[in-house]
Amino acid sequence: MASTAGGETLAAPDPIADGRTEGVEEEQVVNPWEVSAKGGKIDYDKLVDKFGCQRLDDSLIQRFERITGRRAHVFLRRGLFFAHRDLSDILDAYERGEKFYLYTGRGPSSESLHLGHLVPFMFTKYLQDVFKVPLVIQLTDDEKCMWKGLSVEESERLARENAKDIIACGFDIERTFIFADFSYMSPPIYKNIVRIANCVTGNKIVGIFGLTLEDYGGKFFFPYIQAAPSFPSSFPHIFSGKHSNLRCLIPCAIDQDPYFRMTRDVAPRLSYHKPALIESKFFPALQGESGKMSASDPNSAIYVTDSLKDIKNKVNKYAFSGGQDTLEKQRKYGANLEVDVPVKYLNFFLDDDAELSSIKEKYGSGAMLTGEVKARLIEVLSEIVERHQRARAAVTEEMVDAFMAVRPLPRMFA
Ligand code: TRP
């Protein structure tokens, strides 16, 4: 067994390896840079068991509603956020009057975001509103230099552009600090990065992230950088005095779990709380449920920059339909809702429960046709995208500077 610089004993290498589930008949890979499954469909149940996180069940959602006094967000009610780690501890503490902060992030690898990229931010904005807690958002411009080979300057530029889309989601400037790694890398967070690094051996990193000695060194070091914002002392300008050991809740997609498994492992050794997580599935591609939407195929997703014409065209042309191929058959047999992408999208974006169940009932029985369901989806998506575009256009360079200014947040719990 290896020893840290402080002499503590380290746990054995991560048995979960890099998210690969071995089975004779199928194999799926889910880690921060690869999501794939034989046959295309991710088995989330298997993933929860492999990763060792917990399922977000109805009783926890009801508890969430009781404590916040608000209806659960549609992403929560309809199972897009489906797993967690220690969410009940955060709720227990919150009920006792103990606060926490939120931490999420984005790797700025492309200019235009699609709806799947917005999901964690829309949800985080909701959490910020219902709990009235501070939020830190990490833009990992450094990560994309290490993993995507982008130049430092290009990564920095993309981070700033992405910050505008994030701000357009409506975050409260009095509770939100957005930072990019290159510009924020200041002594306090760097000290935590080194503390974390001192607890994790190369074996452990290889075990969790599946790296080989052919990979560049940056990839071995980056996990500490994504871990550090889970600890409040990385932000002494926000969390000082009585807030210096605040709990942290991280909304993210399940592929980020390996980073925070490592972080949670390290936390007690540094006398911090383990960060809690609330984790989402991947947003399905227009073509169907085969992992994440792909930034390299513009027809696999709805982008926040799409025109209303693009949206209409993409939904009509590419959204995989579970409807029958002739009118007569559709009337007779109805649609297969299990595989129907318009229904899946409506499930996550149509807030009205009664309307959704009426659509499902009619479409599933053949009373409604694919074209009608798609038309409703086009309306719903157009509204979301138009709203986003209007908000994005109103974000100025000064606003970006203001969100990214290293400053106290005196009204963060007000
Ligand atoms: N690695 C993430 C990505 O590539 C970005 C990220 C950094 C993040 N910190 C995070 C995501 C915390 C979720 C939560 O998008």
Which residues in the chain land under pLDDT 70?
A: 1-26, 290-296
Pocket-testing residue among 259, 264, 283, ligand 1, by greatest number of atoms within 8 A of Cβ: 259
**Helix H or strand E segment including 2:** none
Residue nearest ligand 1's atom 3 by CA:
107
Question: Residue 296: helix, strand or coil by DSSP?
Answer: coil
d(CA 311, CA 192): 44
What single DSSP character describes residue 14? Answer: P
Interatomic CA distance for residues 87 and 312, integer angstroms: 39
- pLDDT at position 289: 77
Angle between helices 87-95 and 58-68 (to 10 degrees): 30
Q: Pull the structure tokens for residue 13.
A: 């290498």
Q: Is the CB of 252 under 6 A from ligand 1?
A: yes
Distance 137 CA to ligand 1 centre (A): 9
Contact 251, 275 (CB under 8 A): no
DSSP string across 77-137: HTTSEEEEESHHHHHHHHHTT--EEEEEEE----SS-BHHHHHHHHHHHHHHHHHT--EEE
Neighbour order of strands in the sheet with 176-180: 54-55, 81-85, 276-280, 247-253, 100-106, 135-139, 176-180
Q: Does 139 sit in the ligand 1 pocket, CB within 6 Å? A: no
Ligand 1 touching residue 106 (CB < 6 A): yes
CA distance 281 to 263: 21
What would the pLDDT profile of 6-22 be if each residue is shown by its tens digit? 333 333 334 444 444 44
105: CA distance to ligand 1 center in Å?
4
Q: How far is CA 225 from CA 219, 259, 348, in A?
A: 10, 10, 32
Q: Burial, 171: exposed, middle or buried (Cβ in 10 Å; 0-12, 13-18, 19+)?
A: buried
Query: Does any ligand 1 atom lie closer than 6 A to the CB of residue 364?
Result: no
Residue 256 Cβ < 6 Å to ligand 1: yes
Query: Residue 36, SS3?
Result: strand
* Side-chain half-sphere CA neighbours of 335 within 13 A: 27
pLDDT of residue 3: 36
The model's pTM: 0.92
Task: For ligand 1, say whether the CB of 19 is within 6 Å of any of its atoms.
Answer: no
The pLDDT, as a whole number, for residue 138 is 98
Q: Which atom of ligand 1 is nearest to the CA of 120?
A: 13
- Partners of 114 in the β-ladder: 303
Q: What is the pLDDT of residue 294?
A: 65
Task: Tell how far the Cα of 332 is from the centroid of ligand 1, in angstroms.
Answer: 47
pLDDT at 295: 63
**CA 142 to chain CA centroid, nearest Å:** 19
User: Can you say whether residue 291 is alpha, beta or left, with left for phi > 0 and alpha for psi between -120 and 50 degrees?
Assistant: left
The Cβ of residue 155 has, within 10 Å, a number of other Cβ atoms equal to: 25
How many Cβ atoms from other residues are within 10 Å of residue 111's Cβ? Answer: 13
Cα-to-centroid distance, 183 and ligand 1 (Å): 17
